[in-house]
Amino acid sequence: MVADLAEKTDRYEGMLADALAAAEPRPPAGTPLADAAADVTEMATSYLEDGRHFRADGDLVNALASYSYGYGWLDAGVRMGLFAVPEGTELFTT
């Protein structure tokens, strides 16, 4: 069970990091939607950093939860049209 949790935690960390790298804010700078995209990016990045902190402390459950929440924020932003993503990517539920 622990091996499965460690593998899943590592996989979700990679997915979130890849998703953050792939998502490009869509709204023009200075608009309210650009501010929303920035907020979503900040939340996802914060959860990635939190997850890495938990992972370094050996707390796999909270690390996985952090990665999952961060990924959820970013995926929701993509679905709302705040981000452009590469065509054919399997990182998001567009």
pLDDT at 9 > cutoff 90: yes
For residue 1, the model assigns a pLDDT of 59
Q: Is 30 helix (H, G, I), strand (E, B) or coil?
A: coil
pLDDT at 32 > cutoff 70: yes
pTM reported for the whole predicted model: 0.90
Residue pLDDT, tens place only, 52-76: 999 999 999 999 999 999 999 999 9
For residue 55, the model assigns a pLDDT of 98
Name the architecture of domain 2-84.
Up-down Bundle (1.20)
Angle between helix 60-79 and helix 32-56 axes, rounded to 10 deg: 160
- Segment 11-36 shows an average pLDDT of 94
**Sequence ranges of the domains in the chain:** 2-84
CA distance 47 to 27: 23
